Amino acid sequence: MTSRFRVETDVKEPHYTDLLPRSMKRMGGYTVQVRLYDQARPGNAAWGEEIADSIEAASMLVEALAAEFSIPQARIKIDIRMNNMRNGTRH
C-alpha cells in the first residue's frame, strides 16, 4: 500500500462534506480515485488518485481520507469497477 492520498485543491483551509471514491481493478492492483466536495460551497472541491495493491488497501485509503476530513459514512458514495473474467466485461 502507498502512503496517504495526495489531494489537489486551491482552497487554503479545506472543509468537505462528501466523498466520492472509485476503485478500479488494474494489472497488479487497484487505482483509487477520489473526489471531495462541500455541498454548501460547490467551489470547494478536491480530487486525488493513488494506487493500492489490494481491495483491502484501497478501502483503508478511503477510510483514512474520510476520517481525516470527518466525513460520515452516509456521505460516502463508493463506485467499484471490476473485470468479469467469464465474459470479458467490466462492471
Torsion sign (Cα): 50, 55, 57, 59: positive
The Cα 63–Cα 26 span in angstroms is: 20
Each residue's pLDDT expressed in tens, for the chain with a length of 91 residues = 344 555 555 556 668 999 999 999 888 889 999 999 998 887 888 899 999 999 899 999 999 999 998 999 999 999 988 766 665 544 4
Q: Judge whether 2 and 50 are in contact, CB under 8 Å.
A: yes
Q: Which residues contact 65 (CB under 8 A, 6 or more apart)?
A: 4, 5, 7, 19, 21, 34, 36, 71
pLDDT score, position 82: 76
Ordered structural domains, the chain, with CATH: 7-79 (3.10.20)
Classify residue 1 by its DSSP letter.
-
Q: What is the pLDDT of residue 42?
A: 77
